[in-house]
Amino acid sequence: MRDEAINLGRKLATFAQHWSPRVVAEMNNYQFKLVKMQGEFVWHSHEDTDEVFLVLHGEMEIGFRDRGVTVREGEMYVIPRGVEHITRASAECHALIIEPRGVVNTGDTGGELTAANDVWA
């Protein structure tokens, strides 16, 4: 059991790379991952799980094929399983992702933005 709380700001200060989630905690078989985003990610979906984004700094857009949802600091959004989406941030945005252990950032799409999994901050 940890002796101290997990300080998200201090964990964010340990890395700079965009689109490269870093695990900060596990709860049962779920992981909490910090991510820094800027620019546009790739269209993808996760067939087996919902995915949560909670924005800690800045704002992001979660694009769906028929519309987009803006998620600002202090807001969260649940992307339903199997729904194709893309994430975008015109300025750097920091978010906490919550999803089961093992989920790959690019889902079923793959490609060069696919990040190493289970990398801890």
Angstrom distance (rounded) from CA 90 to CA 83:
23
Angstrom distance (rounded) from CA 42 to CA 55:
19
Residues 34-73 that bind a second copy (CB under 8 A): 49-52, 54-56, 64, 67, 69-72
Based on the shown chain and the rule CB under 8 A, indicate whether residue 93 belongs to the binding site for a second copy.
Answer: no
Residues 6-25 that bind a second copy (CB under 8 A): 6-9, 24-25
How many chain residues touch a second copy (CB under 8 A)? Answer: 41
Based on the shown chain and the rule CB under 8 A, indicate whether residue 111 belongs to the binding site for a second copy.
Answer: no
Angstrom distance (rounded) from CA 48 to CA 56:
26
φ/ψ bin of 95: left (φ > 0), alpha (ψ from -120 to 50), beta (otherwise): beta
Contact footprint for a second copy (CB under 8 A): 1-9, 24-28, 30, 32, 49-52, 54-56, 64, 67, 69-72, 74-78, 80-81, 83, 96, 98-100
